[in-house]
Structure 1
Amino acid sequence: MRSFEMLFIVINILLVGWILFAKNKSQRGLLIGFGVSAIIMLMHGVIEGMRWQMIPAYAMTAVPLLIFAVRSMSKLGEPVERTAKKMPRAKLVTVTALAVIYSSVAVALPLILPIFTFEKPTGPYKIGTVTYDWMDDRREETLTPDPGDKRELMIQIWYPADSKAKGKTDSYISNPDVFAEGYSQVLNLPKFLFTTFGYVQTNAIKNAEISNREPAYPVLLFSHGFSGHKNQNTFQIEQLVSHGYIVVGIDHTYSSTASVFSNGRVANYVPQDTSSIAYLDKANEGWVADAKFVLDQVEKLAGNDPDRRFTGRMDMNNVGMFGHSFGGATSAQMLMTDSRVKAAINMDGVLYGKLRVPEEGLKKPFMMMSADDTIRDATSTDDKAFAKFIEETLPRYKHVAVGGNYWMKINEMKHMGFSDLYLFSPLYEKMEGVDIRKAHRLINDYSQDFFDHYLKQQPFKRLEQNIGEHPAFTLEKG
C-alpha cells in the first residue's frame, strides 16, 4: 500500500470510529473531519493517482459531510449533545459491525491488489533505459495472414547510468490499458484486476546519461516466456544493471502479452499450440532468429549509435543471455548456435528447440534454474497428458550440468516465480506457497555470480561455495 493510501485509510477509519463512539460530535467537528480526509484524498490523487481498489475508502470521506447535511436540513438549533438520543444497544452493535466489515473491505482491497514496488538494486550504478522499434526486413511475419508483413520487434535496453542522473523513474508498463487487456486475455481473468500495473514505477530513468565509470559494459540479452513481455523480469534486470551490465529485453511479437510499436500499433498475443512439443520445438527456431537479429542490431549500436549513447560502450566480447520459460529454452539454443553468446542461464524453461544438449555437455558456461514443482516425477500427477509431457521432456535435462555447468533446483518454487507476476498480489504467494521476495533475491544472487565470473572474470562468491543440498535449493555441478 502506498504512503498516502495508508494515511488516508487510517484517517478515515479513525473518523468513522469517532462518529460512532464520540458523545459530542459538533457540526464544526464533522466539517473539520471531512476537510482533513478530503485534503489527504486530494494529495493521494495528485501524487499517487486514484484507483478503483480505493473506492470504499473514498466513500468514507463523504460520511461526516452527509451527517452534517442531514443535521442542517433538520434545522437542529440546539447543541448536539443536548438533543442527541442515545442509540439503542442492539442498533449500536449492528452499526458497529457493519462499519468494521466495511472498513475491512476498504483495507483489504488495496492490500490484495497493491501497487507493488521493486526492491532497490544493491549495485553502485543508477539505471537508465531506452526503447527501440526494429524491423527485420529479411524475415516474413508468420503469425499474421498478410504475406507482406515483416518481423518487427520492440526492444528495451537498460544500462548503467551516471551517478548524477536525475529524472522521473520509468513506468513498469508504458501502455496500461493495452497490457491490462493482454493480461486479461492470457490469464482469463477480468481486465480491471490488472489496472494496478499502470501505477507501478521502476528504478530506471528514461534516456539517462550512461555511466563513465567503466569504458564498456558486458551485454546480456533477455527473452521472456510465452505470453510474457520484455520487462517481465524487472526484479532481475535492474539488479544486474546496477552491477554493471547492459541488458537488452526482447518482445517476441505475437507471442508476448502485447507489443506496442512506435507508431501506436498494437500486436496482441496470438494463441498457439503450446501443448504440442513438436510445434514448440519448431516455434523456438523463430525466437532464436529474433535473438540473433537483435544481437546484430546491438552490434550496430555498439559500433555507431546515432544517439551516441552506446558507441564503444558495449563490451561485445562478453555477451550473455538469460530467459524465462520459452525464453530460457531460447537462451540455451543461442548458446549452442551463436558464437557471440559466451554464457547463458535458462530459468525453468523446458529445453525446446532444434538442438539437444550433447552427452559431453555444452562446452560453454551454462546454468539451469528449475522450480521443484516443474521437474517433479511424472508419477506425482494424476493428469495423464501432463505425465506424458514430463516423460517426453524430462530426459532433455540429462546432460545440462555435464562438463562443469550448474543446475539449481529451487525448493517450494513455481514456474511463474521466476518472473515479476507474483508481485501482483499476495494472494498469488499464498495460493502457490512461494515467498516471492526471497526467491527473487536467490535468483539475483546466483545469476549475478554466474555472469560476474564468466563475463567479468571475477572469482565466484556463491556458486562454487554452495554445491550440494541446502534448505532453499539444491545446486548440482557436472
Structure 2
Amino acid sequence: MNSLDILILVVLLITTVYAIVSANRANGILTVSISLLALLLVIQFFWKGFYWQYIPAYLQICLLIIIIYVNAALHRKLQNISLGVLLVVTLVPWAIFLPVPSLTEPMGKYAVGTQVFRWVDSTRTEQITKDPFDKRNVIVQAWYPAQGDLKGIHSLYLDGLRTLPPKVSVIPSFLLDRYDQIDTYAIINATPAGARGKWPVVLFLPGYGAARAFYTSLAVGLASHGYVVLCLDHPYEAAITQLANGKLATTIENFQPEAPDRLGFMENRLDIRVADVQFVLHQLENKNSSTNTFFTSLDLNRIGIAGHSFGGATGAAAMAHDSRIKAAVNIDGTLYGGLPKSTGYRPFLIIESNKDEIGRFARYEAGNQLLFKQFRGGYRYELEDADHYSFTDVPLLLAPPARLLAGYLLSVGQQSTKTHTATISLLDAFFDHTLNGNPSQIDAVANRYEAIVRR
C-alpha cells in the first residue's frame, strides 16, 4: 500500500464524515474535497492502473456527488446510512488484501540479480500427469550476488501473471492482478558480481503445494549475503509454475487409494523431489564448464540445501542420498519414509516454529530424531514468535489488519518480517561455517534474537 493509496483513503474518509456532519449540503469545503478526491483517483488510475479495491471508492464518490449536488430525493437519515455503509465497504478490501504487497527487504551487502531456468529431464517420464509422453520439467530460479548500481527490470513475483487460471491454490486470481508491481529487490538477468573465488550454492525447496515465489523474501535475503540461491518449483505439485514449453502447470493431487493417510503418496512425492534435486545438480555440473558467466561463477564443491516444510524434509533426504550436498537445513519440515545407510557426520540445522504442544507433532519429532541420528552433527533452534507460515511470504500478501487478525485468531503468519530476518541470519551463519569454512557464529547470531531458543 503506497502513500497515494493512503492519501486517497484518508481524503475519502474525511470527505464522507464532513458531508454527513454538514447535513449533505454543498459548500466550498466539500467542493474542494470532492474535486481533490476525484483528481487523486484519476492520478492513481493512470499511474498505477486499475485496482479492484477501488471499485467501492468509485461508487462512494458518485454517491457523494449525487446526494450533494443532484439533491437526490432521499431522506437525510437514509443518505447518511448509505454513505456510512458504503464507506465501510470501501475500507474493508484495504484491510484484507494489499494490491501490491511489500516483501521483506534484503539486509546483506550485495545487490541481487535473478535468472529463471526451465529445464526438461529427458530421462524421466512425468509420473503425475496422465500423458505417457510427458517428460519431467524442473524450474529453477537463481538469486545471486550481482554487480552494484543495478539498473534494469525487476523480476516478476509469480509465473504466468497475465494468464493465470481462476485460482492459484486457494487464492482467487483477481487478487493477484497487480503483483507484477511487487518489488522483488532483484534485477532480471543482472551480471553476477565478481568474487575472489566462486560463490557457494544453496538449493532451496518450497513446501508441499507452494510455489517458489512464496519464498522470495528468504531467497533474496540469503543471496544478498553472498550465496547463489537456487529456488526450485516442482511442477504439478506447486500451486503455479511455467514449464519449458510455456504451459502453466498447477497442482494435481492423484492420491493413491492404497494410501488414504497420505503416507505412501507423500513418500512417492519425496522421491520425485529428490530426483529433481539430483537432476539440477547434474545440470549445474554440465554447465559449469560453459562460457556462461553465471554458471562459471558457481563453486560446486560448496553446495548446501535448505527448504521449508516438506521442502525442508526433502532437502535433508537429498543430502542423505547425494554426497555433493555438504550441509542441509530443515525449516519446520516433517520427514516421510526412511533414509539410506548413515553417511556419518554431516552438518545439519533445524529451524522450527513454536512447538509448545509437542504432542501434536509426533511424526515431525520422530523424523527429526531420525535425521539427527543419520547425520550426527546438527543444530536446532526454535523461533518462539513464529508459526509454520511465518517463514513464507504469504502473510505479507495480507493487509496489516487481516494479518493481525489471522495471527490472533488462527495463529497464522505471526511476525513474518521478524521471522524472515532471524531465519536468514541463521542460514547465513550456518552456511558461512559449513560451506565457507569460517568459525561458527551460529550461537552468537541466535543470541541476538530474544525469541530464538536453542533446543
TM-score in terms of structure 1 length: 0.82
Identify the residue that residue 322 of structure 2 maps to in structure 1. 338
Change (3 A) 1:33 1:180: farther
Distance (whole Å) between structure 2 residues aligned to residue 98 and residue 269 of structure 1: 43
Measure how far apart 1:440 and its partner are. 1.9
Larger Rg: 1
How do 1:76-225 and structure 2 match up within 5 A? 91=76, 95-96=79-80, 98-114=82-98, 115-176=100-161, 181-183=166-168, 186-187=169-170, 190-193=172-175, 195=177, 197=179, 199-225=181-207
Gaps of 5+ in 2: none
Match of 1:120, SS? coil
Pairing 1:410–2:383 present:
yes
Measure how far apart 1:464 and its partner are. 5.6
Gaps of 5+ in 1: 75-86, 379-389
Measure how far apart 1:238 and its partner are. 0.8
- RCO comparison, higher one (Cα < 8 Å, 6+): 2
Q: 1:372 aligns with which of 343, 346, 354?
A: 354
* Amino acid paired to 1:233: Y
Q: 1:430 aligns with which of 397, 408, 411?
A: 408
Q: 1:285 aligns with which of 271, 296, 317?
A: 271
Change (3 A) 1:219 1:399: same
How do 1:27-106 and structure 2 match up within 5 A? 32-67=32-67, 70=70, 91=76, 95-96=79-80, 98-106=82-90
How do 1:273-422 and structure 2 match up within 5 A? 273=255, 275-305=261-291, 308-355=292-339, 358=342, 363-373=345-355, 376-378=358-360, 391=362, 394-401=365-372, 403-422=376-395
Distance (whole Å) between structure 2 residues aligned to residue 230 and residue 465 of structure 1: 27
User: How many residues are aligned here?
Assistant: 441
Change (3 A) 1:375 1:397: farther
Distance (whole Å) between structure 2 residues aligned to residue 449 and residue 199 of structure 1: 32
Change (3 A) 1:363 1:31: same
- Structural RMSD (CA): 3.1
* Amino acid paired to 1:21: V
Q: 2:235 aligns with which of 247, 253, 256?
A: 253
Distance (whole Å) between structure 2 residues aligned to residue 472 and residue 272 of structure 1: 40
Distance (whole Å) between structure 1 residues aligned to residue 157 and residue 278 of structure 2: 26
Identify the residue that residue 445 of structure 1 maps to in structure 2. 425
Match of 1:155, SS? strand
Contact 1:336 1:362 in 2 (8 A): no
Q: Deviations over 1:46-86 (max 9, x none)?
A: 33332222222232332454356515x99xxxxxxxxxxxx
Distance (whole Å) between structure 2 residues aligned to residue 284 and residue 374 of structure 1: 27
Moved more, 390-399 or 328-337: 390-399
Identify the residue that residue 77 of structure 1 maps to in structure 2. none
* Amino acid paired to 2:235: T
Measure how far apart 1:252 and its partner are. 0.5
Contact 1:357 1:400 in 2 (8 A): no
Distance (whole Å) between structure 1 residues aligned to residue 24 and residue 240 of structure 2: 57
Change (3 A) 1:120 1:315: same
Measure how far apart 1:336 and its partner are. 1.2
Measure how far apart 1:265 and its partner are. 1.0
Distance (whole Å) between structure 2 residues aligned to residue 354 and residue 443 of structure 1: 27
Contact 2:165 2:173 in 1 (8 A): yes
Change (3 A) 1:5 1:333: same
Contact 2:161 2:180 in 1 (8 A): yes
Match of 2:305, SS? strand
Match of 2:435, SS? helix
Measure how far apart 1:293 and its partner are. 0.6
Match of 1:290, SS? helix
Contact 1:450 1:463 in 2 (8 A): no
Match of 1:335, SS? helix
Distance (whole Å) between structure 1 residues aligned to residue 246 and residue 143 of structure 2: 22
Measure how far apart 1:280 and its partner are. 1.6
Contact 1:323 1:329 in 2 (8 A): yes
TM-score in terms of structure 2 length: 0.86
Contact 2:114 2:186 in 1 (8 A): yes
Change (3 A) 1:329 1:395: same
Contact 1:137 1:151 in 2 (8 A): yes
